[in-house]
Structure 1
């Protein structure tokens, strides 16, 4: 009868060990899934970061173009101001000559 109890105890221990082995395998599978998820998230972050960097570079290029256009507008405004000053001087000169006549 003691042998039977020993056999039952051994069987119970083996059953517990098999159950623990299944649990450990399940945990291992969960860890692998989590690892895969983390790798996917990391890849997504890397892709988003690259996209953001590209967007930032595009915005910098657009800003540079806008800045260049504003510089040209400023130059044109200065040229227009100079032309207006020249026309004013010419009109003053014409006015003075007309007064002499």
Structure 2
């Protein structure tokens, strides 16, 4: 059980690497999209359209990467690491609707 747990953790960390890699690829796609979509326009209109595409595209990419870089490591620590390390927390059970 311990070996399979460690293998699962390793695969999860590889998934984090893949998330970072997809963020880099998506950034390149937005750069290429801005260049290809504005080809043939005059220079002023091209600059404005490229700026819009780049700002919107990279904002979406930064948002997605931020969310994934916060959520996935927390999941790894709290779900997988504590399960495989046989962590047993002590304390009181949380019962918010218990009658006083």
Q: TM-score, normalised by structure 2?
A: 0.38
Rg larger in 1 or in 2? 1
Greater helix percent: which structure?
1
